[in-house]
Amino acid sequence: MGPALLLVVGGAAVAGVKKALDWWSEREETQGRKIPQAVVDAVMALRQGKATAAVLLEAAVQTETCGAEGASKLAATLRRHAERLQHAEHLAADALAMEQPEAETLTSPLEGVDDEDWTRYVRRARLARPDYISPSYRIGAFAMTAADLGDIGMMCDVHKGEHDGRKGVWLGTWRNGYSLRAFLESPEVQYEALTKLTRYHAEGIHKRHATIIGTVIAGQKVTLSGLLAVARKAKLGGLRQWVTSEEDRKAFPESGALYARFNGLF
């Protein structure tokens, strides 16, 4: 994590999570409650300035499922700091996109969306360098998962497995002549993948959620670009839960952060 992200998280985040962890540690000694290793790793990552929103959110999930006393309080603390980090990551991504502006306006693949708005969407969707591979196996400039690539036919046999010691990661088999190396070496193929995935999600949104567009969710008038951002995070099934359940929106603030960031582009 770079200096800009460290400044946003700051010492207060480390102190806040450490306080919650220390509180739980006392109960581990007196009641035999075991702290999930993911939580310990997350706090260590914070102290070392290496934490990401994904690491903290995973730790929060494991905290909630362990059932120990005080777990919900610690999980809420982790989620709160993950949301701050995610905001910082979005700011950094926007800065990266501005450093690499499109050479020209891109042609929109979506009916009713003009080229300039689509170009802004693509620039905002770019999260990393083309050769990026995250710990959770999100790959390329648009941080795509195997599940994303499976939805558009670039991968098959998509399933959750283990990658570099990390469980619950989307994995799959490349098809149609694609490979990891070829994908990472080709910004053009990555853009093709984003375009196909966006069309797939947009079709699902128009079929299932057309009446929601124009209403108000999370304090904003809903637009297609906002729903597309949530679908990128939660898939179409998760989007259905997110738009219909306020409890779901509260439970997954990272989806709300993406919605707020992309909503209103078109």
Model confidence, pTM: 0.67
pLDDT tens column, 217-261: 989 999 999 999 999 999 999 999 999 999 888 888 888 889 999
Q: What is the pLDDT of residues 79-108, one digit of tens each?
A: 777 777 776 666 566 656 555 665 689 999
Tokens 């990472």, residue located: 184
User: What are the residue ranges spanned by the domains of the chain?
Assistant: 3-95, 106-262
Residues 170-199, mean pLDDT to the nearest whole number: 96
Q: What is the mean pLDDT of the chain?
A: 82
- Collapsing DSSP to helix, strand or coil, 157 comes out as strand
Say how far apart CA 5 and CA 45 lie, in whole Å.
13
Q: What is the dihedral of CA 93, 187, 133, 99, to 10 degrees?
A: -30
Task: Write the pLDDT tens digit of every residue in 28-37.
Answer: 555 555 667 7
The whole-number pLDDT of residue 146 equals 97
Q: What is the pLDDT of residues 117-160, one digit of tens each?
A: 999 999 989 888 898 888 789 999 999 999 999 999 999 999 99
Burial 234-244 (b: 16+ CB within 10 A, else e): bbbeebbbbbe
User: 57 burial class (0-12, 13-18, 19+ CB within 10 angstroms)?
Assistant: buried
DSSP 155: E
